[in-house]
Amino acid sequence: MTSKRPSTSVKRPTNLDLSSIQFPLPALVSIAHRITGVIMFVGLIFVLWAFDTSLSSPEGFASVRDALTGNALAQLIAWGLLSALSYHFVAGIRHLIMDMGYGETLQSGQRGAQLTIIITAVLVVLSGVWVW
């Protein structure tokens, strides 16, 4: 038994250049969801360090508090992690809603992606106000 594959005259690219493809907004939102997951995983190092140091002694707590209130780099890292968490949370809710069967059409997928970006923008601004 030999299986015969139908011959096609369409030439397929051997090396796919992703920079030449224009992704739709829902695809970009999904890709960014994965990227923020990686950012949060790496940022967990800083969060665990801050928890460990702040819980070790009153002096450790004071040093973490001083770092988060007086150091612009520490505040930027905290704001970045909160922004990644906000985006990841909102995009995760979007994925859960899609898993329930809502927002699977092209138009509703586009609207869901737009809402994800708008809600995240509000949360990022609010977290920036809270950090600074």
Cα→Cα distances 16→7, 8, 20, 22, 65, Å: 21, 19, 9, 13, 48
Using DSSP's 3-state secondary structure scheme, residue 117 falls into helix
Tokens of residue 95, six digits: 């994925």
The verdict on whether residue 88 carries a ligand-binding annotation is yes
Question: Can you give 14-58 as a three-state secondary structure string?
Answer: CCCCHHHCCCCHHHHHHHHHHHHHHHHHHHHHHHHHHHHHHHHCH
Cα→Cα distances 87→33, 68, 90, Å: 7, 22, 5
Residues of the binding site for heme = 88
Residues of the binding site = 88
